[in-house]
Amino acid sequence: MERDWFSGYEFDATCQGTFPPALICALDATSYEDFIRAGVSIGGDTDTICAIGGAVAEALFGVPDEIASQALERLDDYQLDIVNLFRDRYG
């Protein structure tokens, strides 16, 4: 049965409005990339939805190397230092 999570969703920047669609998109995804596509496609507060749901999708699927390397290439030195400090501590 095809589920339609997107019908009726409107922009809502509150926790109550972004957490449920973020979690639904992550749990319904089949891969990290599938989650990103769903999180962006739903519309509304997509940056928050992808930030929240992205953490869940990463725990479920991991971040593909190609996506991670592309993201890291866009960071400046200060941001890369923070990523590396985090990786050294928790990684």
pLDDT tops 90 at residue 79: yes
pLDDT tops 80 at residue 34: yes
Residue 61 lies in a domain: yes
Residue 55 lies in a domain: yes
Q: Give the per-residue pLDDT at 2.
A: 54
- State the pLDDT confidence band at 59, using cuts at 50, 70 and 90: very high
Residue 43 lies in a domain: yes
Residue 6 lies in a domain: no
pLDDT tops 80 at residue 68: yes
What pLDDT, in 10s, does the model give residues 2-11? Answer: 556 666 677 8
Q: Give the per-residue pLDDT at 17.
A: 87
Domain count, the chain: 1
Which residues form the domain of 85? 15-90
Torsion angle, CA of 41/46/48/53, rounded to 10 degrees? 10
pTM reported for the whole predicted model: 0.80
